[in-house]
Amino acid sequence: MTELVETHEPGSVGWQEQRRSRIGGSEVAAVLGLSPWESPFSLWHRKQSITAPIDDSPVLEWGRRLEDAVLAKWAEVHQPAEVQVKTTWLADGWRLANPDAIATMPDGTRVVVEVKTARYDDNWDAGPPVYYQTQVQWYLDVLNLDTAYVVVLISGSDYREFVVTRDRDDVTFMATTKNCPFQNRTILHDINTTQTARYHWASS
Beginning with the edge strand found earlier in the chain, give each strand of the sheet holding 88-91 in spatial order. Answer: 2-5, 88-91, 95-97
Question: What is the pLDDT averaged over residues 173-198?
Answer: 46
Return the HEC string of the chain.
CEEEECCCCCCCHHHHHHHHCCECHHHHHHHCCCCCCCCHHHHHHHHCCCCCCCCCCHHHHHHHHHHHHHHHHHHHHHCCCEEEECCEEEECCCEEECCCEEEECCCCCEEEEEEEEECCCCCCCCCCCHHHHHHHHHHHHHHCCCEEEEEEEECCCEEEEEEEECCHHHHHHHHCCCCCCCCCCCCCCCCCCHHHHHHHHHCC
Q: Convert the pLDDT of each residue in 85-132 to its tens digit.
A: 999 999 989 899 999 999 999 999 999 999 999 999 988 999 999 999
Strand partners, 96: 90
Rounded to whole angstroms, how far apart are CA atoms 98 and 4? 10
Interior/surface letters 122-137, b for 16+ CB within 10 angstroms, e for the rest: ebbeeebbebbbbbbb
Region of poorest pLDDT, from 12-21, 27-36, 78-87, 191-200: 191-200
Q: Which fold has domain 2-169?
A: Lambda Exonuclease; Chain A (3.90.320)
150 close to 136: Cβ distance less than 8 angstroms: yes
Q: Look up the pTM and report it.
A: 0.83
| Average model confidence (pLDDT) across the chain | 83
Q: Convert the pLDDT of each residue in 30-86 to its tens digit.
A: 888 899 988 888 888 888 777 776 666 676 677 678 899 999 999 999 999 999 999
Compute the radius of gyration of the chain from its Cα atoms. Answer: 17
Question: What is the pLDDT averaged over residues 189-201?
Answer: 36
Given this model, what pLDDT does residue 173 score?
Answer: 77
